[in-house]
Amino acid sequence: MKVALITDQHFGVRNDSPVFHDFFEKFYLNFFFPYLQDNGITEIIDLGDTFDRRKYINFYSLSRTRQYYYDELVRRNLKLTSIVGNHVIPYRNTLSINALDLLLNEYTNVVNISEPKEIVFGGTKILFVPWICDDNHEQTMKMLEETHAQVVFGHLELGGFEMHKGVLADGHTDTEAFSKFDLVCSGHYHHRSSKGNIHYLGCPYEMTWADYNDPKGFHIFDTETRELTFVENPYRMFHKLFYDDIGKTLNDITDKDFSEYKNTFIKVIVKSKTNPYWFDMYIDKLEKAGAVNIQVVEDHLNLNLEDDDEIINETEDTLTILRKYVDNIELETDKPALDELMRSLYEEALSVE
């Protein structure tokens, strides 16, 4: 039996942006659902953070999500098992109130997992582990110790993995608790990565610039072989364009087709700009193509880089800078708690339009 694994869908992201709903709809209707149909897959497992806002739901986002996702599940006879993640709970210490139980009861094809539970898929027993908090910590640790399942699907915060590409996260749960399992798959971190038996599956699409140039998509799990197959999302929301008019003609600038950048976010990296009028025409054409947002980055150092990732690689990421700042504070304060607060604020800032 083959099952589709998807996680961190974050419906309603970026302040319930219609542009992102359109982007998500294109992915699900044009790629995700057709792929499942073409491959005879009827079971989906969602590993958490289904919705984006922790404390409420925007009516527009709920309506759009029902139209292009939940109603489509029903129409296509697909079954969904959803794990409660940290983005669908209003309180950090309990999962007793969560968006999945409150919003999706009418969908009989959807099963919500709000406490550790064993479920058999295709003859393979799987332990489902929702977000671990004060309220369920003891129960979860007991289940992990006593279960005979060899596969775990969860929404976990483990140390030593990248939250986003190049941004290491400090996890609160020891990986040792999962060492006895053959396979552990988790949501929560948006960068896809693996260490030993633990696999973070990553989010299915780009939602912030932190996702740029980081392959997104979903996975297919074979319950017989226990193999994971990554299926890459072909659609991109964030693009970098490199402007260089040295040795170019006006036609080289004006004949560019920008239609593929409609409803996307663009960074224009200026390597050489000898003719400001040509550059204005370039930006004007990009705007008329329907780009949502255009940022211009001037390469004042004239580094002649193929892309600006080389600049980024030479700098420290934001979280590292924040941690060092907290470490160097010469005050008597709970530094781990302050570091956690700074990290939480940083994560929320990434999702703001």
User: At 174, is the pLDDT very low, low, confident or very high (cuts 50, 70, 90)?
Assistant: confident
**3-state SS string for 297-314:** EECCCCCCCCCCHHHHHC
Which residue range is the domain that position 75 belongs to?
2-232
Q: Is the pLDDT of residue 309 over 70?
A: no
**What is the pLDDT averaged over residues 65-90?**
98
Residue 1 has pLDDT above 50, yes or no: yes
My answer on whether 82 and 139 are in the same domain is yes
Partners of residue 268 on adjacent β-strands: 241, 296
| Same-domain check for residues 193 and 244 | no
Contact 152, 164 (CB under 8 A): no
If you average pLDDT over residues 205-221, what whole number do you get? 97
Q: Could you give the angle at which helices 335-350 and 318-327 cross, rounded to 10 degrees? A: 160
For residues 282 and 243, is the Cβ–Cβ distance under 8 A?
A: yes
Q: How confident is the model at residue 62 (pLDDT cuts 50, 70, 90)?
A: very high
Find all residues with CB under 8 Å of 349, minimum gap 6, and list them.
none
> What are the counts of helices (DSSP H) followed by strands (DSSP E) for the chain?
12, 17
One domain for residues 105 and 164: yes
pLDDT at 305 over 60: no
Domain-ending residue, one of 177, 203, 232 = 232
Q: Please give the structure tokens belonging to residue 68.
A: 């292009």
- Count, residues in the chain: 353
- Alpha carbon separation from 168 to 189, 201, 317 (Å, rounded): 10, 16, 9
Say what the pLDDT of residue 318 is.
67
- How far is it, in rounded angstroms, from Cα 99 to Cα 130? 13
pLDDT, averaged across the chain: 91
255 shares its domain with 139: no
Task: Identify whether residues 196 and 249 lie together within a single domain.
Answer: no
Q: Within 10 Å of residue 256's Cβ, how many Cβ atoms?
A: 12
* Same-domain pairing of 130 and 82: yes
Same structural domain for residues 114 and 254? no
- Please tell me the predicted confidence (pLDDT) of residue 348: 66
Per-residue CA distances from 311 to 87, 124, 296, 316 (Å): 32, 46, 16, 10
Domain count, the chain: 3
What is d(CA 179, CA 199) in angstroms, rounded to the nearest whole number? 12
Q: Say how far apart CA 315 and CA 25 lie, in whole Å.
A: 35
Residue-wise pLDDT for 114-132, tens only, equals 999 999 999 999 999 999 9
Give residue 168's pLDDT. Answer: 87
Considering the domain architecture, whether residues 287 and 242 belong to the same structural domain is answered as: yes
Three-class DSSP category at 154: strand
Residue 317: band (very low, low, confident or very high) from pLDDT cuts 50, 70, 90: low
Q: In terms of domains, do 171 and 96 share one?
A: yes
Q: Residue 245 pLDDT more than 90?
A: yes
Rounded to two decimals, the pTM is 0.86
